[in-house]
């Protein structure tokens, strides 16, 4: 009967949505604080927009490509928000720097598994126009603020620069085409060092080269201290020097926030379009992949715009953040409704009164439900209780005759009767106590 969504796609119930909205609005608020403005693009693009941007595996195995039912054109659902932004930028040519955020879904035909879906949400911030480390630093500082605002403490930003690896490969292995190797290294978390060795062998590299690559990516450097060792070892290699100096400049701008950043030679990112610094945010000790990642892609926009524009960006995986937050206990789906007040209707006689009170409360901004099922008082109470609506208003014969309202507060079990004209003020105070996030 196809009641379930297609594999890897999901429905979200109110309790999921309430948490998701909290997470998304925290991210959005941080983007705004850093001066990013929102854009939106279609969920689908002409296939040609995506072609040649992400790498062969993505294009052939992961993208939802389909034929427009009314023409010979091919469309695909967007694979990320970066490429649509590059197209958007090249069409509109906004003034520089162009700083935009975009929170929306993307589609990848991955094998569905814990924390990995085929339809998922990304929250991206990007800067077009600046080639400078300040731009990358801003994105890292923004990322740190976002993680802290969401409540994460035990996280680290792994930072690398693709030019460093490229330089090392040039010096040590005389390798020119490094993209294929990056794609293998990117799987390190999933397949481990042994798996990387197998895959590198498959690329046709000799044993010496494979050994060297494994040695290099297992190195750990402390970004604040001994990254200069790299310069010493590879002095004279322009790529290594550029990469290291870019990273040192980023870290310098970060100031005291550098404590969240680690330099990781094995961090490469899987997509083709990165050209310089790349980073990922990892939550320690929970064995979940990265929750965010990004980097510089100075050559991507040229493919659309004809001329070159430096660009850098970062992307949060909304599902990853939520799964990580649940695992670490900072996120809970314990709120199942936004509704604050249920106004009981005791009889057909008081239905009109309940409706009027609901109307008055709604006009003041409260979130209110009334009976729509012509149910008994008991059934209404059961429903309000099942839905965990925090406040119940009762207007029976007694309240009617004394022009008062009885209030029941679920959390405390408190029950009290107050004058009708004090209701709004009373509920405002009550609400302030009950809600932290309104």
**Binders of a copy of itself in range 110-129 (CB under 8 A):** 119, 127, 129
# residues contacting a copy of itself (CB under 8 A): 90
The encoded tokens of residue 268 equal 């490469």
The reply on whether position 176 binds a copy of itself by CB under 8 A is: no
174 interacts with a copy of itself by CB under 8 A: no
Task: Closer to a copy of itself by CB, 5 or 192: give it.
Answer: 5
What is the nearest approach in angstroms of a copy of itself to the Cβ of residue 267? 23
**Structural Rg of the chain based on CA atoms:** 27
Instruction: Please pick, from the candidates 22, 212, 326, 369, the single residue that binds a copy of itself as defined by CB under 8 A.
Output: 369
Min dist. Cβ of residue 322 to a copy of itself (A): 13
Which residue stretch of 8-16, 185-193, 268-276, 428-436 sits at the interface with a copy of itself (rule: CB under 8 A)? 8-16
Give the one residue of 366, 400, 410, 424 binding a copy of itself; rule: CB under 8 A: 366
Show the beta-strand stretches assigned E in 255-390.
261-264, 277-283, 292-296, 311-317, 341-343, 368-370
- 39 sits near a copy of itself (criterion: CB under 8 A): yes
Full DSSP string of 316-342: EEHHHHHHHHHHHTS----------EE
Q: How far apart are CA 417 and CA 395, in angstroms?
A: 10
| Minimum distance of a copy of itself from residue 362's CB (angstroms) | 4
Note whether 98 and 135 are within 8 A (CB).
Answer: no
Between residues 303 and 326, which has the closer beta carbon with respect to a copy of itself? 303
What residues have CB less than 8 Å from 176, skipping those under 6 apart? 170
Do the Cβ atoms of 38 and 100 come closer than 8 Å?
A: yes
Using CB under 8 A as the binding rule, whether residue 1 contacts a copy of itself is answered as yes
Q: Which stretch binds a copy of itself (CB under 8 A): 67-75, 240-248, 393-401, 407-415?
A: 67-75
Least Å from the CB of residue 69 to a copy of itself = 6
- The Cα 149–Cα 143 span in angstroms is 10
Binding of residue 435 to a copy of itself (CB under 8 A) = no
- Is 337 a binding residue for a copy of itself by CB under 8 A? The answer is yes
Residue among 119 and 180 whose Cβ is closer to a copy of itself = 119
Which residues in the 13-32 window bind a copy of itself by CB under 8 A? 13-14, 16-18, 20-21, 29, 32
At 327 the three-state DSSP class reads helix
Contact region for a copy of itself (CB under 8 A) — 91-99, 172-180, 313-321, 401-409?
Answer: 91-99
Rounded distance between C-alpha atoms, residue 109 and residue 350, angstroms = 55
Q: Is 259 in the site for a copy of itself (CB under 8 A)?
A: no
Smallest separation (angstroms) from a copy of itself to the CB of 242: 17
Cis peptide before 309 (omega within 30 of 0): no
Least CB distance from residue 45 to a copy of itself, whole Å?
Answer: 7
Q: Is 426 in the site for a copy of itself (CB under 8 A)?
A: no
Which residues between 190 and 219 bind a copy of itself (CB under 8 A)? none
Helix (H) or strand (E) holding 16: helix 14-33
DSSP state of 233: H
CB of 395 to a copy of itself, least distance (A): 17
- Chain centroid to Cα 218, Å, comes to 28
317 binds a copy of itself (CB under 8 A): no
Q: Do 19 and 322 touch, CB atoms closer than 8 A?
A: yes
How many Å is the maximal CA-CA distance in the chain? Answer: 93
Return phi, psi of residue 181, to 5°: -70, -40
What would the two tokens of residue 264 be? 């990781």
> Does position 270 bind a copy of itself by CB under 8 A?
no
Distance CA 279, CA 247 (A): 11
The window from 83-91, 199-207, 270-278, 313-321 that contacts a copy of itself (CB under 8 A) reads 83-91
Measured from the CB atom, is 56 or 362 closer to a copy of itself? 362
What gap in Å lies between CA 381 and CA 394, rounded to an integer? Answer: 10
Helices (H), 151-204: 162-173, 179-185, 188-202
State the minimum distance, in angstroms, from the CB of residue 30 to a copy of itself.
8
């Amino acid at each position: 009967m196809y009641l379930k969504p297609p594999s890897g796609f999901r429905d979200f119930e109110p309790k999921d949505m309430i948490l998701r909205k909290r997470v998304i609005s925290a991210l959005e608020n941080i983007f705004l604080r850093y001066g990013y403005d929102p854009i939106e693009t279609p969920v689908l693009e002409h296939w040609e927009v995506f072609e040649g941007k992400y790498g062969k595996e993505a294009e052939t195995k992961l993208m939802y490509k389909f034929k427009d039912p009314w023409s010979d054109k091919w469309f695909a659902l967007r694979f990320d928000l970066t490429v649509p932004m590059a197209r958007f930028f090249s069409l509109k040519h906004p003034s520089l720097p162009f700083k935009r955020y975009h929170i929306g879904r993307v589609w990848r035909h991955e094998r569905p598994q814990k924390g990995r879906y085929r339809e998922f949400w990304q929250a991206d911030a990007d800067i077009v126009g600046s080639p400078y480390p300040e731009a990358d630093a801003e994105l890292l500082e923004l990322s740190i603020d976002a993680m802290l605002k969401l409540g994460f403490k035990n996280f680290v930003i792994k930072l690398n620069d693709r030019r460093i690896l490229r330089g090392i490969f040039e010096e040590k292995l005389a390798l020119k085409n490094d993209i294929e190797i990056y794609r293998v290294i990117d799987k390190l978390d999933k397949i481990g060092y042994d798996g990387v060795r197998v895959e590198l062998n498959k690329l046709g590299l000799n044993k010496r080269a494979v050994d060297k690559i494994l040695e290099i990516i297992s190195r750990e450097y402390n970004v604040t201290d001994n990254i200069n060792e790299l310069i010493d070892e590879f002095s004279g290699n322009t790529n290594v020097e550029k990469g290291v100096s870019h990273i040192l400049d980023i870290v310098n701008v970060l100031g005291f926030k550098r404590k969240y950043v680690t330099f990781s030679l094995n961090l490469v990112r899987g997509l083709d379009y990165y050209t310089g610094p790349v980073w990922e945010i990892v939550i320690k000790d929970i064995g979940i992949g990265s929750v965010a990642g990004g980097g510089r892609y100075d050559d991507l926009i040229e493919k659309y715009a004809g001329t070159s524009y430096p660009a850098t960006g970062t992307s949060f995986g909304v599902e990853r953040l939520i799964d990580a937050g649940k695992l670490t206990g900072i996120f809970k789906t314990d709120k199942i409704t936004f509704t604050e007040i249920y106004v009981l209707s005791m009889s057909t006689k008081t239905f009109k009164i309940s409706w009027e009170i609901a109307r008055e409360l709604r006009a003041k901004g409260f979130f209110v439900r009334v009976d729509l099922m012509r149910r008994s008082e008991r059934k209404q109470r059961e429903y309000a209780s099942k839905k965990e609506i925090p406040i119940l208003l009762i207007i029976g014969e007694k309240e009617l005759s004394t022009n008062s309202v009885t209030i029941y507060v679920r959390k405390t079990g408190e029950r009290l009767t107050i004058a009708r004209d004090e209701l709004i003020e009373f509920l405002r105070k009550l609400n302030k106590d009950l809600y932290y996030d309104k």
